[in-house]
Structure 1
Amino acid sequence: MSATPGPRILVFAGSTRRGSHNTHLARLAAERLERHGARVTRIDLKDYPLPLYDGDLEAAEGLPPQARRLQALLAEHQGLLIASPEYNGFPTPLLKNTLDWMTRPDGERSGLALFADKVAAVVSASPGALGGMRSLGLTRQLLGNLGVMVLPNPLALPRAAQAFGEDGDLEEAAVRQRLDSLCHRLVSTLSRLHPIDDASGESP
């Protein structure tokens, strides 16, 4: 791992459920991103409660404070790693609603512009046999529509209730390697796209 400060990556899960497999997977991904040199901020969307998006509410009250906080966080990071659960084959309403609010303009600032040139990796854990693969495709499409470059070969973790060992890590070595590879690709891609100035520790 290089001593040069790495890219900033925002990590979160599209679930606030206590004991969420995707929150657990996001934590493991954050640890691996840090091992590869990234500067990681891991958040819980439970700390950023937002109403269901409503154009009339936005017109009357403006952007909710929690949406502004999320936009400010996004502006400070070059990359994203999102753990997206699957509800009936789709990403969670929580994730979609959060992204919808984050794309809204705030005064002269365009929320959608904050997503431009970001790079993301997506993962999913599910108790089912497909590991959330159906929702991953839609999550990738959604992020792509926002201008985010999403890395190929996302990680879908099936039978998540049995996928984690007593130490909290992934049980199967092959799955651990796939998660590590995805995290390494995210860090290395961002490092090439956003080289860090050694003197300032920031992207030029």
Structure 2
Amino acid sequence: MADPVLLTISGSLRREATNRKLLAEAARVFGAASVVEGDLNLPLYDGDAEAAEGIPAAVQALADQIAAADAVAISTPEYNKGPSGVLKNALDWVSRTEGNPWADKPVAVMSAAAGRAGGERAQMILRGFLVPFQPRLITGPEVHLAGSSKEFSAEGRLTSEQYEATLAKLMQKLRAEMLR
């Protein structure tokens, strides 16, 4: 059997974002998989632009990645007590594509943030945003990486055994749900 496809989606566009680093660690502990990174550098959703021009190619590409994935891992920062705007924009755009690529898709959500709660509020809100799409959301363990800029080695590895163990449990549950 070929390796499953794990799609990672970072709610941060920054190349060195801790959410990207967290997803790289999630992919590592997930185990054998073809890892694909979703690109959220999309135009702002605009119903008039959609009516005039249709679904942008970059949006359709993301929707196709979601549909093709065997499992999805999403990591969001917390901006002003919620998920990032680019992540919400991507969800809004993908909801406008044909079909529902999220339907019955195993999805794990995590967060990395500068604050002491590690993006807990953003993660809770993101889970609510996903409910209408009816994925198979993994309910825990929750990974809220607090003070995230201090939690990675120079090589991008998590430095806390506790965070790594919790992340490994979440990824084990994602893999099990994918195989269900």
Structure-1-length-normalised TM-score: 0.82
Which residue of structure 2 lines up, in the alignment, with residue 119 of structure 1? 106
Deviation at 1:44, TM superposition (A): 4.0
Question: Quick one: structure 1 residues 134 and 29, their matched pair in 2 at CA, closer, same or farther if it must change by over 3 Å?
Answer: same
Q: 1:124 touches 1:156 (CA, 8 Å); kept in 2?
A: yes
Q: C-alpha separation between the residues in 2 aligned to 1:191 and 1:5?
A: 13
**Runs of 4 or more consecutive aligned structure 1 residues displaced over 4 Å after TM superposition:** none
Identical positions, percent = 35
Which residue of structure 1 lines up, in the alignment, with residue 166 of structure 2? 178
Which residue of structure 1 lines up, in the alignment, with residue 133 of structure 2? 146
Q: 2:64 touches 2:101 (CA, 8 Å); kept in 1?
A: no
Which residue of structure 2 lines up, in the alignment, with residue 76 of structure 1? 68
Q: C-alpha separation between the residues in 1 aligned to 2:3 and 2:104?
A: 17
Unaligned runs of 5+ in 1: 193-204
Which letter does structure 2 place at the counterpart of 1:168?
A: G
Q: 2:38 touches 2:62 (CA, 8 Å); kept in 1?
A: no
Q: 2:9 touches 2:75 (CA, 8 Å); kept in 1?
A: yes
Which letter does structure 2 place at the counterpart of 1:25?
A: L
Which letter does structure 2 place at the counterpart of 1:15?
A: S
Please give the secondary structure, in 2, of the residue aligned with 1:114: coil
Q: C-alpha separation between the residues in 1 aligned to 2:51 and 2:37?
A: 31
Q: C-alpha separation between the residues in 2 aligned to 1:167 and 1:53?
A: 36
Please give the secondary structure, in 2, of the residue aligned with 1:115: coil
Deviation at 1:165, TM superposition (A): 2.4
Q: C-alpha separation between the residues in 2 aligned to 1:145 and 1:172?
A: 34
Matches within 5 A, 1:60-139: 60-105=52-97, 109-110=98-99, 113-139=100-126
Q: Specify the structure having the higher radius of gyration (Cα).
A: 1
Matches within 5 A, 1:17-96: 17-33=14-30, 35=31, 37-45=32-40, 49-96=41-88
Please give the secondary structure, in 1, of the residue aligned with 2:74: strand
Structure-2-length-normalised TM-score: 0.93
Mean alpha-carbon deviation: is it higher for 17-26 or for 83-92? 17-26
Please give the secondary structure, in 2, of the residue aligned with 1:12: strand
Which letter does structure 2 place at the counterpart of 1:78?
A: D
Which letter does structure 2 place at the counterpart of 1:116?
A: A
RMSD: 1.5
Deviation at 1:5, TM superposition (A): 3.3
Which letter does structure 2 place at the counterpart of 1:43?
A: G
Q: C-alpha separation between the residues in 2 aligned to 1:44 and 1:100?
A: 14
Q: C-alpha separation between the residues in 2 aligned to 1:50 and 1:173?
A: 35
Deviation at 1:30, TM superposition (A): 1.4
Unaligned runs of 5+ in 2: none
